[in-house]
Amino acid sequence: MKTIISHKTPVSRCPHCGAEYLPGELYMPGSLIGQPDEVIRDSFGKIIYEDYNSADREPCMEEHFICEYCEKPFIIEATVTYRAKEEAPEKDFTTAYVSLLD
Ligand SMILES: [Zn+2]
């Protein structure tokens, strides 16, 4: 009998033997998104300068890995997408409703 497991996170497979890995096994979360030491924005919020004090703080989207099953090397390349959405406007019940009558 086969048990089918549904994964919450995307699975990467070794290109040689098909062994499966979860992103958390291949990447240190911090190394994937990086940790900037300095970010400077202009008055409109556009980033004009970013600095990482050391190479291990820079985002690293490519990871070299050796398969634990077939012991062959392979490269994992991450694609990270962030979407910014508008927050739904919440009704504010803390201020009294005012209706103007004239
Ligand atoms: Zn393998």
Give the pLDDT confidence of 25-59 residue by residue, as tens digits: 887 666 778 889 999 999 999 999 999 888 888 88
pLDDT at 47: 94
| pTM check: above 0.85 | no
Q: Across the chain, what does the average pLDDT equal?
A: 83
Q: What is the DSSP secondary-structure string of 16-51? A: TT--EE-HHHH--HHHHH---SEEEE-TTS-EEEEE
- What is the CA(79)–ligand 1 centre distance, in A? 21
Ligand 1 centre and the CA of 86: distance in Å? 43
C-alpha 15 – ligand 1 centre gap (Å): 7
Pairing state between β 20-21 and 12-13: antiparallel
Q: Is the dihedral of CA 69, 73, 79, 41 positive or negative?
A: positive
Integer Cα distance of 82 and 29 in angstroms: 15
Alpha-carbon gap, residue 3 to 72, rounded angstroms = 27
